[in-house]
Structure 1
Amino acid sequence: MRSLLPLILFAASACFAFGLVLPLIHVDRLYFFSEEPSLIGMISALWRGGDWLLATIVALFSVAFPALKLGLLHNAAYGHPGTGVPAWFRALSNWSMLDVILVALVIFAAKTSGLATAFTKPGLWFFAASVVLTATASAAIKHRPTQEAAR
């Protein structure tokens, strides 16, 4: 697993970047209007619409915390030996799937209301892949032998 860590971290970072900018969902309303918002676009629209608290929460748990965790994982993998991901941050990173759940709820609501149809787009899948790859990298770093134990 140790030899795959660079590839896993690179893939997690790339998937995270794609997940932020690619459309998450495609929504058709009343057969005339359609939207394909990205995560960054959704946060921006919430902010412009006056929902600052919700925009901040989504930005923190879907952008800032996952980006910080990826940075910490890169530091733990390639930085000073013995550095790792703090326990408090691992607990917060469990919420990084928050927007995936929110998008699933929006799709469910749109399909059951009959007023709109919604479909997942690549951004959602890239973001979900990033979450899984980040968790895999975190587990690999957590369970790797320390350099002191190898001596």
Structure 2
Amino acid sequence: MSTRLENVGIAVRDLEEAIAFFTDLGLTVLGRDEVSGPWAETAVGLDGNHARIALLQTADGHGRIELFEYLHPTALETAPTQPHEIGMHRIALSVDDLDAALEIAARHGCHPLRGVADYQGVYRLTYLRGPSGILVMLAQATQAGGGAG
């Protein structure tokens, strides 16, 4: 059996805000839709499921994020995930210029949780809170062959 990662789905408070953040960081919107009805209820396992969605892709064509904003039922606010909590943790993006990516994030009101770290001279990286409290890791390889991990 062959398996590949299709995308990572993230529920957001404001779809347009999240799209703006990720497209400013270099992702491209592949498509948008509004989903509801019996097929969506069955697929998601949620009665009355009605959401606006957008599929975004990284510049290399390998990474995809599906953002969704619930119209019904009303989305439930939760406390932002902490780095040490079990469960869905973060999204990691490799960037070729961490300083430029941080300037873009700052324009969206998103700043590093604690600054930029150096991992053994291989990566410069940081965690920040993106739109809707999404934990985002930005990493820049500082040696040949590096990528976010």
Give the TM-score taking structure 2 as reference length.
0.31
* More strand as a share of residues: 2
Which structure has the greater CA radius of gyration?
Answer: 1
Q: Comparing both chains, which one has the higher relative contact order based on Cα–Cα distances under 8 Å and sequence gaps of 6 or more?
A: 1
Give the TM-score taking structure 1 as reference length.
0.31
